[in-house]
Amino acid sequence: MRPTIKLVSVSVAAAVLMMGCGKEEPPPAPVVQAPPPPPQPMIVKIGHVAPLTGGIAHLGKDNENGARLAIDEANAAGIQIGGKPVTFEIVAEDDQSDPKVGNTVAQKLVDAKVVGIVGHLNSGTTIPASAIYNQAGLPMISGSATNPALTEQGFAGVFRVVGRDDQQGPAVANYLVATAKPKTVAIIDDATAYGEGLANEVEKTLKAAGVKVLPREKGTDKTADWKAVLTKIKGKKPDAVFYGGMDATGGPLLKQARELKIGAVFSFGDGACTDKMAELAGEAAEGLVCSQAGIPVQAAGAKFVEGYKAKYNIDPILYAPFTYDSVKLLIAAMQKADSIDPAAYLPALKAIDYTGASGNIQFDEKGDRKDAEMTIFTLTAGKITPLAIIKGGKSLTLDEYAALSAPAAPEAATAAEPAKPAEAPAKQ
């Protein structure tokens, strides 16, 4: 009987085993994985330098405002570079219009790992600072430094989006000759790289036109009392006076000249081509002639002008469109190269063909803007008003310049025959 019992036991065990194998277990619950976090934006720092304190802080802040507006617009656009989202930041520094301070803040920006610089405002600070940026391999674009020496240094990463003083000086000098027809001109400068450099170009042009130029008189960029210089000039009875310097010193110069009954036509470069002249010189500022190494704010792109007013609740003063464009150029070059590495995007910056608030921008082999415009202004009823925009060897009114993009643009006068105001600036 034992074999039979074993057989039954085995059969029962096999049946139980088969029943167990036939039972279906529920599938395991799927593992839900959290989505990967969105990529964190790269922080890309762009430096900006201008005088934010002192006599021309209003111009420095105007430049910085233009740069900040461009940064805001770039961030709103959701730009990606190298497949990663980018957040741009501006690192703003105050050089106080002082070359020594300018060098200090230039090194500070290098140490802060900025990838490019917009600035400086003054030629006197921009030129020495450019050597520091060049050594660090950082591209820089000035929206207002006009001394030719800046781009004559041969630095590969130095650019400017305004014209040079060897273009601006002849423009204002020729306009002065064509309208005021002076026989004798006195020239004063503030002994800075900008003021002296521009005055030199004006003097060359006047002499070439057969105008007698009196021996140069000088002040500084902080001179407040010009009476001694002006008294010396008054005795020589010039028909016109040109001052190379900024509005902070040009305004008092003009006011004191009228107080001394000097009736000559007064002319200035871009540094004193602002509404601030009316504030500093009062009624004496009426009728002054001045130049700018670029288009007037009135001719800047509508997007820029409207954006500036909306953000700051004021009008741009002078070179804000150019610092705005400078930031946009740096970013456009980074996008083209798909890299924030200065060495990688520099070739794209050199070859840029960009249309911004100040018009089309391309650079020549030196880093100067090709075919840069020059504008001649007068001050009327307390406001700087454009008289002529010189573009491509032609002198245009503001309306004619605006019509250049129209299908049938009006034919402009030649450079030898600048567009004239209703009447020549009156001696006061």
Q: What's the mean pLDDT in 111-135?
A: 97
54, with CB counted inside 10 A (0-12, 13-18, 19+), is middle
DSSP 18-77: HHHHTPPPPPPPPPPPPPPPPPPPEEEEEEEEE--SSTTHHHHHHHHHHHHHHHHHHHHT
Can you list the domains of the chain with their CATH numbers?
42-162+299-361 (3.40.50.2300), 166-292 (3.40.50.2300)
Q: What's the mean pLDDT in 356-368?
A: 96
| Predicted confidence (pLDDT) per residue in 59-85, tens digit | 999 999 999 999 999 999 999 999 999
CA–CA distances in Å: residue 167 to residues 75, 117, 147, 283, 369: 36, 25, 10, 30, 12
Under 8 Å between Cβ of 270 and 293: yes
DSSP 167-200: HHHHHHHHHHHHHH--SEEEEEE-SSHHHHHHHH
Place 414 in a pLDDT band, splitting at 50, 70 and 90. very low
Helix (H, G, I), strand (E, B) or coil at 107: helix
The Cα angle at residue 394 between residues 393 and 398, in degrees rounded to 5:
135
Residues forming beta bridges with residue 160, ordered by sequence position = 142
Output the pLDDT for position 394. Answer: 82
Residues forming beta bridges with residue 376, ordered by sequence position = 291, 388
Instruction: Return the amino acid letter for 274.
Output: T
pLDDT at 406 over 80: no
CA dist., res. 428 & res. 317, Å (int): 26
Q: What's the mean pLDDT in 213-229?
A: 97
CA dist., res. 423 & res. 251, Å (int): 23
Integer-rounded Cα radius of gyration of the chain: 32
User: What sign does the CA torsion over 260, 266, 271, 276 have?
Assistant: positive
CA dist., res. 229 & res. 411, Å (int): 44
Query: How do beta strands 84-94 and 289-292 pair?
Result: unpaired
Q: What's the mean pLDDT in 400-414?
A: 52
The model's pTM: 0.83
Structure tokens, 338: 């798909």
Chain mean pLDDT for the chain: 89
Output the pLDDT for position 14. Answer: 45
Helix (H) or strand (E) holding 384: strand 383-391
Burial 161-199 (b: 16+ CB within 10 A, else e): bbbbbbbbbbbbbbbbbbbbebeebbbbbbebbbbbbbb
Place 419 in a pLDDT band, splitting at 50, 70 and 90. very low
Residues forming beta bridges with residue 105, ordered by sequence position = none
Q: Percentage of the chain surpassing pLDDT 90?
A: 81
| Predicted confidence (pLDDT) per residue in 8-37, tens digit | 444 444 444 444 444 566 677 676 676 776
Structure tokens, 298: 């009135």
Place 50 in a pLDDT band, splitting at 50, 70 and 90. very high
Place 415 in a pLDDT band, splitting at 50, 70 and 90. very low
